[in-house]
Amino acid sequence: MFLKSIRLESLYVLGILIVTMSLLSPYFLSISNFLNILLATSVIGILAIGSTFVISSAGLDLSVGSVMGLAGVAGAVVMNQLELNWIFGILACIIAGGIAGFFNGQLVTRAKIPAFIVTLGMLGVARGAALLLCDGKPIYGLSNEFLFLGQGRPFGIPFPVIIFIVVALITHYILASTKFGKHTLVIGDNQMAAVAMGINVNRHKVKLYAFSGGLAGLAGMIFTSRVNAGDPTAGLNYELTAITAAIIGGTNLFGGKGSIIGTFIGALIMGILQNGLNLLAVQSYYQRMAIGAVLILAVWFDQINRQKN
Amino acid sequence: MSFLEIKDLSKSFGSVNVLDRVTLSINKGSVIGLVGDNGAGKSTLMKIVTGIHKPTSGSILLEERELTRISTSEIRLLGIEMIYQDLALARQQDISSNIFLGREPVKKLFGINLGLVDKQKMDKDSIKIIEDLGAKVPSVEYQAGLLSGGQQQTIAIARALTFSPKLVIMDEPTAALAVKEVQHVLELILKLKSEGISVILISHRLNDIFEVCDRILVLRQGQIVADVIKAKTSMNQIVSYIVGAE
Ligand SMILES: Nc1ncnc2c1ncn2[C@@H]1O[C@H](COP(=O)(O)OP(=O)(O)OP(=O)(O)O)[C@@H](O)[C@H]1O
Ligand SMILES: [Mg+2]
């Protein structure tokens, strides 16, 4: 049942990438490097999961990178300036993300502004709010309990990897097997049909954007913990990688189709690409170009496929 | 009191008046034909009955319950189903998902309701419903969009009949069908009638209307211009009502 929802091409790409990288770099094929890749992928992967839900409902969330930055700063403010316990720090990250997403959803459904514009605007607003909250300077020095979330290694496995995999498993079942998931796909497939069959489309969309924002908050929490700072520039341009991972994973850009296991593979492809380019000491400017190019290529291949059918 | 009562229903989209004080009533177990020119307002009228559009003014009573203030899903629960002109299918989803769209059966996991869809039950029931309709599809896990036009129409019909409706509204249900399949649908309508289920049939094919309907309503530019018993009218008369010659 897992296999059915994976786009075969993405597995080929993953295989080719792994073989190429192991030939090019002797450091690539090792458990520790593999864990490194997963660790580096976890933040992007969690954002990509949110994007998968939103895009498969024929929506779009460009704000996830900024919202992630805002959430991290919000968490750091709550812990360091309000001097609240780390649990409130976690909650602050997720709730801040969720609230930003909720606003996205309200504007898309009530004000009927295209998601592209709403979330592009939120990309600016959330980034500005993050900078404002901490006066443009990162908030350093978080409690040890909070640092465990991003730096702990139970059984030698980085904690963010565990969070990523647990979130991926739960959301896979939500999208593939629950009413909520089915309705998400139906809304993306044919919104009029969803309305005609009595699905409350607006409410559902608000939930989706809030969900995407909440996941961005979770990603922000992990990032903040990993770098031990509430950094207002965290997540800059991450939406590009997140959306690319979702699309490579087989999410239909126009809605109606998407799977978390596919997105997981898509995120892994992006992670390996970045890790490989790092190992080969390719300048980071080229890496950014590569990510952008991959997005365009993935959509192009998808369109060629569609025309064939 | 009739089964369904529509009173003084008007609807405008912006400045365009699409329906103008429509009043009609329908008895239980009767088959009503609703005819009229393109753009007369037939689909809009029926979409107000199913709650997709809200009327500008007027009321609709189903067994004395007001429908204009409740949601589409509540109206479906009260037993009104509609086969939409564009079929309202989710083309990338499979057949059983379309048949159970919005009303997926859920199964409990360890006694807890997590909203998990009971896909097995959906597939099993879908196979039976499609067989009962005498139709054939490759597999219920087939994407709806890959089916032929007629097969898609069958899926839309199957969906409308799955939850024991009291009123079935059919908006051009035979448009994509071959002669034999058209006959099937007409027989189906008579079968529904014999079970006490009311049917509203919208069609441009007057032959079909005359074959199964008890009463014919003609809508012209948003107004009911004729409400006649089939036995007391003729096709020519209906045509002249439609075009406004009478
Ligand atoms: N959502 C809408 N917004 C604006 N105008 C609409 C909308 N839906 C329908 N109309 C207009 O209302 C009028 C009636 O449309 P309707 O679809 O009810 O006609 P119809 O009788 O079903 O026609 P047909 O036989 O072609 O299906 C048309 O002029 C149409 O343009
Ligand atoms: Mg119509």
Domain locations in chain B? Answer: 1-79+166-246, 89-164
Question: Taking a C-beta distance cutoff of 8 angstroms, is the pair B83, B171 a contact?
Answer: yes
What span, in angstroms and rounded, lies between the C-alpha atoms of B29 and B190?
10
Distance from Cα B45 to the centre of ligand 1, integer Å = 9
Cβ neighbours, 10 Å, residue B243: 12
| 3-state DSSP assignment of residue B9 | strand
pLDDT score of A253: 92
Q: How far out from the chain centre does Cα A52 lie?
A: 8
Ligand 2 (ion): residues with CB under 5 Å are: B 43, 85
Tell me: domain A3-304, CATH 2.50.20, correct? no
Q: Which of A182, A195, A204 to substitute to test the interface with B, most B CBs within 10 Å?
A: A182
Q: What is the mean pLDDT of chain A?
A: 93
| Cross-strand pairs, A178 | B116
pTM of the model: 0.93
Can you tell me the distance from the alpha carbon of A52 to that of A44, in angstroms, rounded to the nearest whole number?
A: 12
The CA A283 to ligand 1 mean position distance, Å, reads 58
Among protein residues, the one with the nearest Cα to ligand 1's atom 6 is: B13
Residues of chain B positioned with their CB less than 8 A from the CB of A257: 92
Mean pLDDT on B32-61:
96
Question: What's the rounded Cα separation, in Å, for the pair A50 and A101?
Answer: 10
The larger pLDDT score, comparing residue A140 to residue A4, is at: A140
pLDDT per residue over A91-146, tens digit each? 999 999 999 999 999 999 999 999 999 999 999 999 999 999 999 999 999 999 99
pLDDT of residue B214 exceeding 50: yes
Written as one letter, the residue type at A107 is L
CB atoms within 10 A of CB A100: 31
Percentage of residues of chain B with pLDDT beyond 90: 86
- Model confidence at A309, in pLDDT bands (50, 70, 90)? low
List the one residue out of A77, A112, A72, A78 whose CA is nearest residue A221: A72
How far is Cα B218 from Cα B115, in angstroms, rounded to an integer? 44
At B133, the pLDDT band (50, 70, 90 cuts) reads confident
Res A1: pLDDT:
43
Closest CA to A57 of A115, A122, A4: A115
Q: What is the pLDDT of residues A57-103, one digit of tens each?
A: 999 999 999 999 999 999 999 999 888 899 999 999 999 999 999 99
User: Domain B1-79+166-246 falls in which CATH fold?
Assistant: Rossmann fold (3.40.50)
Flag if B76 and A185 touch (Cβ within 8 Å).
no
For residue B86, report the distance from its CA to the centre of ligand 2, in Å.
9
Closest CA to B106 of A180, A53, A56, A204: A180
| Element housing B36 (H / E) | none
- How far out from the chain centre does Cα B38 lie? 18
The mean per-residue pLDDT over the stretch B223-246 comes to: 92
- pLDDT-derived band at A26 (thresholds 50, 70, 90) equals confident
Q: Which of A169, A197, A199, A200 is the best substitution to test chain B (most B C-beta atoms within 10 A)? A: A197
Cα–Cα distance, A142 to B241 (Å, whole number): 80
Least confident range of A77-81, A283-287, B206-210: A283-287
